[in-house]
């Protein structure tokens, strides 16, 4: 993924046909199905296969796993047939490459950010992962490593090499996504809790508000970049 690609908007942790349909109707570019057993958004592979059938060809289907082996990932892909793998654990660059090889799919690697030093990881995964997702680090005692609805300090990203493209997540919602896109200038955005009314319970209205707000802010960002390029 580069900054030149269209701006993907991903709705993560969908688990019902109704909320999935709302994400598709809103125009989400990617939807995430969560296979971490401790998550309130967990879906069984069988249930996910049904949701994936509903979504196939209409959006990018992302299978989110935490510290899977290449064999586990390949077995999941056989059942669900997603378009992407999202790795949200402590996978090393070598493990990312092994899962990519075992599944034959593009891989999004999530990296937790709390301090400027955390951004050093981005260069290590660039060129190995097909997309990087910067997310807030989970609270210390958290039972699962993502989906906590808390942002990290967006100003940290100002120190990152602009050539290293990434998607942004962590505490985004319909009210703040426009500001986040303006400050961080990511290549795309991802949300889970911010479009829910309770952990794991997605809200159809908030999904469409989020996609609308993110799309408008991404267009403004693109217009601004074109204007600056024209002036150069």
Ligand X SMILES: O=C(O)c1ccccc1NCC(=O)[C@H](O)[C@H](O)COP(=O)(O)O
| DSSP 8-state code for residue 139 | P
State the catalytic residue, choosing from 29, 83, 130, 135: 135
Any contact of residue 109 with ligand X (CB under 6 A)? Answer: no
The CA distance from 32 to 85, in Å, is 9
Beta strands 131-136 and 107-113, pairing class: parallel
Please identify, using beta-carbon distances, which residue of 33 and 225 lies nearer to ligand X: 33
Please identify, using beta-carbon distances, which residue of 181 and 191 lies nearer to ligand X: 191
Q: How many residues in total does the chain contain?
A: 232
Catalytic, 12? Answer yes
Supply the DSSP string of 154-165, one letter for each residue. Answer: GGGGGGS-TTS-
Q: Where are the alpha helices (DSSP H) in 56-191?
A: 70-80, 93-103, 120-125, 177-184
Q: Name the residue with the smallest CB distance to ligand X.
A: 147
Minimum Å distance from CB 228 to ligand X? 30
Q: Which of 15, 34, 103, 208 contacts ligand X by CB under 6 A?
A: 34
| Residue the block writes with tokens 């290449």 | 70
Sign of CA dihedral 40, 206, 176, 11: positive
- Give the footprint of ligand X on residues 175-194 (CB under 6 A): 190-194
- Give the footprint of ligand X on residues 132-171 (CB under 6 A): 135, 144-149, 169-171
**Residues involved in catalysis:** 12, 135
Interface residues with ligand X (CB under 6 A) are: 12-13, 32, 34, 36, 39, 41, 64, 66, 88, 135, 144-149, 169-172, 190-194
């Amino acid at each position: 993924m580069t900054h030149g690609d269209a701006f993907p908007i991903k709705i993560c942790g969908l688990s019902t046909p109704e909320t999935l349909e709302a994400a598709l109707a809103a125009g989400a570019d990617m939807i995430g199905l969560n296979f971490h057993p401790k998550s309130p958004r967990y879906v069984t592979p069988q249930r996910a296969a049904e949701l994936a059938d509903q979504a196939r060809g209409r959006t990018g289907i992302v299978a989110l796993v935490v510290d899977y082996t290449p064999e586990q990932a390949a077995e999941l892909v056989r059942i669900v047939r997603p378009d992407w793998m999202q790795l949200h654990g402590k996978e090393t660059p070598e493990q990312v490459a092994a899962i990519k090889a075992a599944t034959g799919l593009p891989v999004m690697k999530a990296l937790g950010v709390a301090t400027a030093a955390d951004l050093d990881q981005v260069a290590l995964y660039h060129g190995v992962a097909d997309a990087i997702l910067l997310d807030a680090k989970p609270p210390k005692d958290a039972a699962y490593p993502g989906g906590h609805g808390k942002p990290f300090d967006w100003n940290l990203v100002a120190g990152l090499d602009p050539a290293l493209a990434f998607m942004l997540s962590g505490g985004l919602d319909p009210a703040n996504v426009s500001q986040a896109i303006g400050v961080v200038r990511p290549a795309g955005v991802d949300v889970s809790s911010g479009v829910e009314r309770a952990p794991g319970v997605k809200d159809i209205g908030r999904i469409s508000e989020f996609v609308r707000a993110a799309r408008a802010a991404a267009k403004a960002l693109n217009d601004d970049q074109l204007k600056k390029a024209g002036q150069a």
